[in-house]
Amino acid sequence: MLIVAYMLTVLAVIMGVYVACYAAILWSNPDNYENMPFWNSIWLAYVGGVTALIILSGSIYKIWELRRGGGAGVAEMFGGKRVPPNTEDLLQRRLLNVVEEMAIASGMPVPPVYLLPENGINAFAAGFSSSDAVLGVTQGAIDLLNRDQLQGVLGHEFSHILNADIAMNMRLMGSLHGITLLGDAGWLVLRSMGGRRHSGDKGGAHPAVFILAVILIIVSGIGSLAAGAIKAAISRQREFLADASAVQFTRNPDGLAGALKIIGGYASSSSVTHAGAAPASFMFFGNVLRSPLDYAWFSTHPAVTLRIQRLDPSFDGSLPPMNVPQRARMVANEASLGLSLGLIGAADLATGVTMGRLSASEHPEMANAAELINDIPLQIRNFSHDPCLARALVYALLLCREKDVRAKQIQWLEKHAEQGVFRDLMDVYAQMKGLKSHLRIPILDMCMPALKSLSKPQYHRFISNVQALIRADGHYSGFEFVLQQILLRHLAPAFSTVAMPRNKYRDMSMLTESAVYVVAFLACTGGNKHPQDLQRRIFYQLGLDAEPLDAEGLNFTALGKALQQFEEASPEVNAMLLQACEFCVLEDGQVLQSEYELLRAIADALGHPMPLLKPRESAVFPQ
């Protein structure tokens, strides 16, 4: 649908450019009218070729640029500034805490957060996948929304990330760029001509070039408008969907509805004034441009009142204007009250209140996440927010229980880690004594934003140290595998080009060997009594024609390679494999902690993040 619309738009633009060229030539040689039929296939091929080339190269260039910058590049394009992960500003801290909880609840690494210096209340998510995803929030949103409302808005954005809407938005942004580029070229020509006019220089082809430029601008304008209308129609549907998922996610329709009511009663509404934002309006939570035609064809978002009505059927449509200073004071008070009890960096009071109000059973994911975060000692949570200490934290997670190996590891770090980090390491290690092992993965997830703010040389040093620590005991353990998978997968996009999701393999049978390996690994390491039978059953269900593997010879290195193959598989294939993996783990009625962590790493590698569970009893996660 979108592709057809795009093709039609490009065709229309080519025709427009052709007419423009014809008019320009006619203008420059009016006497030659007789010799110039309107249809000239050679000219058409010329014009069409060059125009298509420009549009195509513009789009390719933009997609290339988006891949290099990932979500962070987009946030900066909108004028966003990264919130330091260890910020001590109350409102920013609260924002980061909410993001952290939602990420842990959805089983994603915590994304970096950008702040846009805008008065309007708005937010966006950008990136190709959960690895390079970033969240952006306006200053107005953190100043004027209370915790529940902020959670509602961020829940909406998280659902865009989880539903892979953001990847589609990135592609859309890239393809549309080619068309607008044509208009930009027109403007550039006009401006440079204006300059020459003043200097009195009269070149031969000027009037023709002038007309060409003007028509280019018009054509490109109409082209992007047409594309915009289609894009808006699709976007509006997805906004409703994201609203619904946000409610499902936070189990609190009042939060999101409350935020929309605030936006509705706010003079600045959800406007974003930065020039980079308007063409990417479809990426935002609310309409970027303030328009009286709220539900017009070109609006990328449904009307605020309509969105509220779907969340709150008792809504009577009245949106009383808001007293801004009073509202800001109230929000600031709530934030400082919430944070003062748990000190900076803690999951704050408001969570406690929310969690208390809604029992865990009707609020399972968020309650689980808040509990998990609360189980992590405050000191360690603070460490995970600091770029320097987060590295020490990861090193400490990898220190071996055996004294000899640990001594070797410490010796390595003394030589190869920055001395400041090494010094902190012992401090961090001391704090981690007695830490419950199921908290290791959430801690790792929480370290992500801090680790993404390393410089490139620091990052390379960090990764090579992590690999050395893993190699130290000559044994590749399950936890080490999971840690390395998560780290490499989610950190790399911040320091290199982002891989585009590709659907090279659309059928499980194209990846038989890898699928067999993954399933066999889980079946043989999960303590199942008849791993061969289990494998046969799963292979049958997956429609694979393969023989079960023996436990011998299975290793993590090969598992990593097998999983890598699925990066190029279609989402359907990945979902199917993940289902098989879940079945494999659950089949014998008991889930070992190592099994669960491995399953989570596999889910992560397959692009379907899995929420973290808090072990209920030791029966689920034996010590």
**Minimum distance from residue 58 beta carbon to another protein (Å):** 7
Residue from 345, 387, 493, 531 in contact with another protein (CB under 8 A): 387
**Minimum distance from residue 498 beta carbon to another protein (Å):** 13
**Minimum distance from residue 571 beta carbon to another protein (Å):** 30
Tokens 């909406």 correspond to what residue?
156
423 forms part of the interface with another protein (CB under 8 A)? yes
Residue type, 52: A
Within the chain, how many helices (H) and strands (E) appear?
24, 4
Q: Please say whether the beta carbons of 20 and 215 come within 8 A.
A: yes
Which residues, in sequence order, are bridge partners of residue 126? 134
The DSSP annotation for 130-161 comes to TTT-EEEEEHHHHHH--HHHHHHHHHHHHHHH
88 forms part of the interface with another protein (CB under 8 A)? yes
**Minimum distance from residue 33 beta carbon to another protein (Å):** 15
Residue from 7, 45, 56, 205 in contact with another protein (CB under 8 A): 205
- 37 or 320: CB nearest another protein: 37
Residues whose CB falls within 8 Å of the CB of residue 579, separated by 6 or more in sequence, listed in order: none
**Minimum distance from residue 99 beta carbon to another protein (Å):** 17
65 forms part of the interface with another protein (CB under 8 A)? yes
- Run of H or E including 81: strand 81-82
61 forms part of the interface with another protein (CB under 8 A)? yes
- 187 or 476: CB nearest another protein: 187
Residue from 272, 283, 454, 584 in contact with another protein (CB under 8 A): 454
3-state helix, strand, coil in the chain (%, to 5): 70, 5, 30
57 forms part of the interface with another protein (CB under 8 A)? yes
Residue from 239, 243, 348, 386 in contact with another protein (CB under 8 A): 386
Residue from 254, 418, 567, 568 in contact with another protein (CB under 8 A): 418
456 forms part of the interface with another protein (CB under 8 A)? yes
Residues whose CB falls within 8 Å of the CB of residue 510, separated by 6 or more in sequence, listed in order: none
Which residues, in sequence order, are bridge partners of residue 116? 138
Query: Edge to edge, what strands does the sheet with 81-82 contain?
Result: 81-82, 113-116, 134-138, 123-126
> Binders of another protein among 22-41, rule CB under 8 A?
24-25
495 forms part of the interface with another protein (CB under 8 A)? no
Whether 34 sits among the annotated catalytic residues: the reply is: no
Tokens 């289902």 correspond to what residue?
579
**Minimum distance from residue 76 beta carbon to another protein (Å):** 5
- Burial class for 495, CB neighbours closer than 10 Å (0-12, 13-18, 19+): middle
Q: Please say whether the beta carbons of 95 and 137 come within 8 A.
A: yes
319 forms part of the interface with another protein (CB under 8 A)? no
- HSE, CB side, 13 Å, CA atoms: give it for residue 61: 11
143 forms part of the interface with another protein (CB under 8 A)? no
Structure tokens at 582: 């879940």
Which residues, in sequence order, are bridge partners of residue 569? 505
275 forms part of the interface with another protein (CB under 8 A)? no
196 forms part of the interface with another protein (CB under 8 A)? no
Residue from 143, 294, 427, 588 in contact with another protein (CB under 8 A): 427
69 forms part of the interface with another protein (CB under 8 A)? yes
Residue from 45, 56, 68, 323 in contact with another protein (CB under 8 A): 68
Catalytic residue among 100, 101, 118, 157: 157
Tell me, what DSSP letter sits at residue 404? H
Q: Please say whether the beta carbons of 499 and 457 come within 8 A.
A: no
Residue from 248, 336, 340, 455 in contact with another protein (CB under 8 A): 455
The DSSP annotation for 532-565 comes to HHHHHHHHHHHT---PPPPSTT--HHHHHHHHHH
**Minimum distance from residue 595 beta carbon to another protein (Å):** 35
- 383 or 566: CB nearest another protein: 383
Residue type, 588: D
Please identify, among the stretches 73-81, 296-304, 533-541, 578-586, the one whose residues bind another protein according to the rule CB under 8 A: 73-81
Residue from 86, 97, 122, 409 in contact with another protein (CB under 8 A): 86
21 forms part of the interface with another protein (CB under 8 A)? yes
Q: What distance lies between CA 99 and its chain's CA centroid?
A: 12
Residue from 100, 132, 424, 480 in contact with another protein (CB under 8 A): 424
- 411 or 541: CB nearest another protein: 411
Residue from 6, 13, 67, 87 in contact with another protein (CB under 8 A): 87
419 forms part of the interface with another protein (CB under 8 A)? yes
201 forms part of the interface with another protein (CB under 8 A)? no
Which residues, in sequence order, are bridge partners of residue 284? 124
Structure tokens at 220: 């490109």
Structure tokens at 494: 């911040």
Residue from 12, 388, 499, 554 in contact with another protein (CB under 8 A): 388
Residues whose CB falls within 8 Å of the CB of residue 557, separated by 6 or more in sequence, listed in order: 476
- 298 or 422: CB nearest another protein: 422
Measured between its terminal Cα atoms, the distance across the chain in Å is: 53
Residue from 7, 45, 188, 225 in contact with another protein (CB under 8 A): 188
What SS3 state is found at 606? Answer: coil
Alpha carbon distance 103, 502 (integer Å):
25
Residue type, 458: Q
Q: What distance lies between CA 228 and its chain's CA centroid?
A: 23
**Minimum distance from residue 53 beta carbon to another protein (Å):** 8
- 103 or 451: CB nearest another protein: 451
Alpha carbon distance 82, 453 (integer Å):
9
**Minimum distance from residue 73 beta carbon to another protein (Å):** 6
Residues touching another protein, count (CB under 8 A): 52
Q: Please say whether the beta carbons of 621 and 596 come within 8 A.
A: yes
Residue from 212, 219, 447, 599 in contact with another protein (CB under 8 A): 212
13 forms part of the interface with another protein (CB under 8 A)? no
Q: Please say whether the beta carbons of 612 and 441 come within 8 A.
A: yes
9 forms part of the interface with another protein (CB under 8 A)? no
422 forms part of the interface with another protein (CB under 8 A)? yes
Q: Please say whether the beta carbons of 468 and 414 come within 8 A.
A: no
**Minimum distance from residue 132 beta carbon to another protein (Å):** 14
412 forms part of the interface with another protein (CB under 8 A)? no
Tell me, what DSSP letter sits at residue 115? E
Point out the residues that are catalytic: 157
Q: Which residues bind another protein (CB under 8 A)?
A: 21, 24-25, 43, 46-47, 50, 53-54, 57-58, 61, 65, 68-69, 73, 76, 81-82, 84, 86-88, 181, 184-185, 188-189, 205, 208-209, 212, 386-389, 418-424, 426-427, 430, 453-458
